[in-house]
A = this chain, B = another copy of it.
Amino acid sequence: MEKYKRNERIGAIIKVLGDNPSKVITYNYFSELFSAAKSSISEDILVVKKTIETLKMGRIETIAGAAGGVRYIPIMDDMERKDFINSLCNKLRDKNRIISGGYIYYTDIIYSPELVDKIGKIIAGKYIFKEIDYVVTMETKGIPIALMTARYLNRPLIIVRRDSKVTDGAIVSINYMSGTSSKISTMSLSKRSISNGSKVIIVDDFMKGGGTALGIIDLLKEFDTKVEGITVLIASKTPEDKLVKDYDPLMVLQHLDAQKEIVDIVPYEHKDYV
């Protein structure tokens, strides 16, 4: 007799797959975990797949062969994604979020694990079937979003620093110019942190002029890196002529008027989600 009931095996398989998004888990692993025959595990996986996909919780992919197994592909359902981004826009339209200087306060949103988990899942969904080696961001506020994206893609995070740190070892640094002010700043990356010739995506919280993104692209050139995409949580509509062209926001800040207390922010209509 088998040690665990089918019920229990299915529950536990879903837990392991959900805890390890985008990672292939072998049938052997489950077979040993439950002391169950591989044929039983195969049947369990069919139920797991049906459950996850019927309830629109993502996809389950089985990989045949010696290196084979099963993986959970975290794709948020279209309707859920739209509802979620709409709800973020509604939160952000609150006039109390307007900060003197013409900024909008959204730190509470990107520091909320529950919200940033969903944001990361949405961004990851855009790249989940592409070959990506790293998720790159610039410190500081982009980090939570980028980490959650990296978690769902099962890829390492790379954080570009504003200053160089002794604890990073040898670094590569460049000077770059902000897109909106003409201030020259420095950004740096540890030489050890990224393999030459990698494919990356850039993830950040906000894009105004695109200077930071362009700086990251220039810095990554020193590592022969190919940038496969740039996604930001919010892009401001102005300036329309940004320093980078191919970027993709979840929301667009169309207009912010501190005096009239107007925050006009809308979902960006994606066309290329899976």
Contact = CB atoms under 8 A, between A and B. Distances in A.
B48 A11 contact: yes
A101 B51 contact: no
Given A50-B8, A144-B147, A113 B157 contact: yes
Interface string A174-202: 00000000000000001011000000000
Copy total for this chain: 2
Interface of A, helix, strand, loop or mixed by DSSP: helix
6 contacts: A12-B52, A12-B57, A15-B55, A101-B167, A105-B169, A143-B143
A115 B273 CA distance: 28
Interface of A: 4, 6-8, 10-15, 18-20, 23, 33, 47-48, 50-52, 54-55, 57, 99-101, 103-105, 107-108, 111-114, 116-117, 139-141, 143-144, 147-148, 150-151, 154-159, 161, 166-169, 190, 192-193, 206
Contacts of A169: 99-100, 103, 105
